[in-house]
Amino acid sequence: MSSVTPYVMVDSAETYGDFLKSVFEAEVSNVLRLPSDPDRVMHAEARIGTGVVFFADSGAHGERCLTSPSEPVHVQLWSTVPDADAVHARAVAAGATSAQEVIAQEDGSRMGCFVDPFGTLWWVSTTQPNVA
C-alpha cells in the first residue's frame, strides 16, 4: 500500500500549528525542536481527521522548494470536513484570506477555499446528500 503526506515548510511552524488547531481542530504532535535553536521546529505533525500534514520551519535563510508566493499559491490542500462554512469562517478569523466563499455545488456538497497566512491554498468541502 502506498500513501502520500504533504510536508509544508513555513516561516513560523509554531504559529502554523496554532492555525491548524484553531481552524481544523487538528491534533499537533511529534514536535521536534532544533537543538541549536529551540524556538524553531524541525518537524511536527498535525492530524486533521484521518489525514496528517507534516510541517516545519523553513531554513534560516528561507531554504525550501519555493519561496512563499502571493500569486499564485504553489501548494493546494483539500480537506473534507463536517462543516465547510464553519472551517472557512474560523480560517478567516485566524488570518486567512478568503479565495472563494463556501457555496453549494450541484451534487449537494458545499465547497470554498482560503489562503492561509503562510501561502497555502486550502479547499474545504462538506459532502451532503443530494436532496431531490
Q: Measured between alpha carbons, how far apart are the two ends of the chain, in Å?
A: 38
- Do 80 and 112 fall into the same domain? yes
What CATH number is given to the structural domain containing 33? 3.30.720.120
Q: What is the domain count for the chain? A: 2
Segment 77-95 shows an average pLDDT of 94
- Which pLDDT band holds residue 76 (cuts at 50, 70, 90)? confident
Q: Please state, for a pLDDT cut of 70, what percent of the chain lies above it.
A: 82
**Whole-number pLDDT of residue 130:** 45
- Would you say residue 131 has pLDDT above 50? no
Conformation bin of residue 130: beta by default, left when phi > 0, alpha when psi is -120 to 50: beta
The answer to whether 13 touches 55, Cβ cutoff 8 Å, is yes
Q: Report the Cα 24 to chain-centroid distance in Å.
A: 8
- pTM comes to 0.74
| Residue 54 and residue 20 share a domain | yes
> Per-residue pLDDT averaged across 92-101, rounded?
95
Tell me the C-alpha to C-alpha distance, in Å, between residue 105 and each of 74, 83, 126, 128, 130.
25, 14, 10, 10, 10
Sign, Cα dihedral of 89, 91, 93, 96: negative
Lowest mean pLDDT among 47-56, 72-81, 87-96: 72-81
Looking up residue 77, the CATH number of its domain turns out to be: 3.30.720.110
Domain boundary among 60, 77, 98: 60
Residue 132 and residue 74 share a domain: yes
pLDDT at 106: 84
